Structure 1
């Protein structure tokens, strides 16, 4: 009887404490919770964030993640929701954030707020498929832990900040599908840490690709659909490790027959340029998954062998005098 009474009293005490002390039932850091509710209010309390209820544990809310050990918010990932307005400055008040993502929010407007520069632990920044405008911010170079930047599919304008090359941990930079102008920074050939994949397509970039880029071993380069000019053959070579290249729909001019391609190359898109010469015999040794050299000024017979005949005529047509399978036979 005595034991039962003690058990009942202990259980009652635990229930009382759990009700009177949120810290026992709510893992969420109070300051993080306050900031998240400020972000929700700044977006006018959208239905997409309905789970952000101040009476519940914020670590259980949708669109975010807490660290299991510290219970601090480490990821804020809001996407595909009916959310309007600008990115609230309050996002900079989540000091443990490693991943910030606003994706496919077409009513998200304004510029990228400088408050993001306070997120010193940030590793991944994705602000894509929105209507964000203004420049690519130079303050991104203050976020020295960044390994991934995706600012694609926005309305960003201005030039690409040369200082992005100071970020030594970057694996990829996505600046494609914007309205960026100017030249590719010469500093992009001077990354001192990781050599990131560069996605710069569908902009209004001009000028020649800096020769400095030839000093690095890139894996992916996508400069397609810009207004770039000149010779880019220096980006290839047997000592390179590049795998995927898309230089299509620019104004590049060089002699393709003189180019030595690396064994690592699996995708090559050069369509709609002013490239001359013949297709090098060395292309037959490559394990191509994709190839397109159409709409250039190439001549001569398509080498026989490897994967070259596995592509249809549309990979080769509209050249000056290119011939041989899969095009009509040479005369």
Structure 2
């Protein structure tokens, strides 16, 4: 092999190696953005692996990249369970290919939900929980049309629930539990653009009646427990629905359950501490309950025999007006 051929071979070998290595490096703009995020959070110990000398796609904690592209772009950012203080860095919005953002179990994280998150047009998964975030549930979330999952639970969010969230046509999970939200459940939630199989709003200060239009939807899970909701909630039930769990406990709901027909799929039902009247329908013996509680209401009549209704002890039934039969005292 002559000198020219040797040099040419060396050149193409080097080029191939460089190109191959480049495919395993995250995009320089994403890397710079992540380093700014680390600095903004005061270089916490949990982000020690974010070393500028290393590839952020292969060795940095909480980072995932899209391997289908030549220059790997960051698609997932997870920061959780460490001693992190400060606010959500605005640079979070400068990761244009981000699909999943998880920031949770950071008790010293404060401030409002970062408005720059509105720039993440590819975002499908948003989980911000177990922090000390304050302020409202932001209206700008409705601009993120690809969102499929929103979990803002266990924070200190206040204000009302934005009705615009119902416009998210891909949304399949919405949890706003354990905040300090007030106002009513938006009327628009009865006309979600897409299917909403999970709706969890528990442990807030929501008030008023449930929009009747919610009865038109087929939820998988409903949790409105521990609020100040009142009125009729019977529209949430139905024989033709595929609901798996309904928790309406510790509110002020008032309706007659005598004619409430449960979905065959319902396995968890908690109605305790309300103002519900009527008698337990015989049809309920056909349900295969994993959890059942109707205590602290104003129910009357004999508890139907059969199915799973006698599998639960008296604590699931007591403190009702005149309910009787096993597992309570015999009917007179």
> CA distance change for structure 1 residues 16 and 244 in 2, over 3 Å: closer, same or farther?
closer
How far apart are 1:239 and its partner, in Å? 2.1
Partner residue in 1 for 2:138 = 137
> CA distance change for structure 1 residues 277 and 43 in 2, over 3 Å: closer, same or farther?
same
5+ residue gaps in structure 2? none
How big is each residue's C-alpha offset from its partner over 1:150-187, in whole Å with a ceiling of 9 and x where there is no partner?
A: 00000000000000000011111000000000000000
In structure 2, the residue corresponding to 1:127 is in which secondary structure?
strand
Matched, 1:217 2:218: yes
> CA distance change for structure 1 residues 143 and 327 in 2, over 3 Å: closer, same or farther?
same
- Cα distance in 2 for residues equivalent to 1:212 and 1:28: 47
How big is each residue's C-alpha offset from its partner over 1:183-207, in whole Å with a ceiling of 9 and x where there is no partner?
A: 0000000012222411000000000
TM score, norm. by length of structure 1: 0.94
How far apart are 1:24 and its partner, in Å? 3.6
Partner residue in 1 for 2:261 = 260
Partner residue in 1 for 2:106 = 105
How big is each residue's C-alpha offset from its partner over 1:104-136, in whole Å with a ceiling of 9 and x where there is no partner?
A: 011110000110000000000000000000000
How far apart are 1:235 and its partner, in Å? 1.4
In structure 1, the residue corresponding to 2:278 is in which secondary structure?
coil
Does structure 1 conserve the Cα–Cα contact (< 8 Å) formed by 2:87 and 2:109?
A: yes
Does structure 1 conserve the Cα–Cα contact (< 8 Å) formed by 2:172 and 2:194?
A: no
In structure 1, the residue corresponding to 2:277 is in which secondary structure?
coil
Partner residue in 1 for 2:86 = 85
Does structure 2 conserve the Cα–Cα contact (< 8 Å) formed by 1:18 and 1:25?
A: no
How far apart are 1:58 and its partner, in Å? 0.9
How far apart are 1:240 and its partner, in Å? 2.0
Picking from 41, 44, 66, the partner of 1:43 is 41
How far apart are 1:145 and its partner, in Å? 0.3
In structure 2, the residue corresponding to 1:187 is in which secondary structure?
helix
Flag as ranges the 4+ runs of structure 1 deviating above 3 A: 6-19, 21-26
Which moved further from structure 2: 91-100 or 191-200? 191-200
Aligned residues: 329
Partner residue in 1 for 2:172 = 171
How far apart are 1:92 and its partner, in Å? 0.4
Picking from 52, 56, 59, the partner of 2:57 is 59
- Cα distance in 1 for residues equivalent to 2:103 and 2:82: 10
- Cα distance in 2 for residues equivalent to 1:293 and 1:328: 16
TM score, norm. by length of structure 2: 0.94
In structure 2, the residue corresponding to 1:258 is in which secondary structure?
coil
- Cα distance in 1 for residues equivalent to 2:108 and 2:28: 30
